[in-house]
Amino acid sequence: MNVRNTLERGGTLLKEPVQREWISYPEAERYSGLSHTTLWRYIGSGELKAARVGRSLRIHLPTLRSFMEERACGASR
């Protein structure tokens, strides 16, 4: 049975929605409001976690979220 037939009959492929853990530079730029160069610097310094997949680089979204939270809390002090 293919995926389309499974979904048409009310079946599900996964019980929980898939959450993305790794995002591209453009997605990270939109999420954080930081430039490509700034993200690159933070990745190079080890402040953000990233992994190379083929020729592209993926940024770890939970790390980016916590990084932004820390910066937001630090800015309000």
Every domain of the chain and the residues it spans: 24-77
Contacts of 49 (CB under 8 A, 6+ apart): 43, 59, 60, 63
pLDDT tens digit at each of 77 positions of the chain: 565 665 556 656 566 776 789 999 999 999 999 999 999 999 999 999 999 989 999 999 999 999 999 988 766 55
d(CA 17, CA 43): 28
Give CA 19 to chain center in angstroms.
9
* Whole-prediction pTM: 0.69
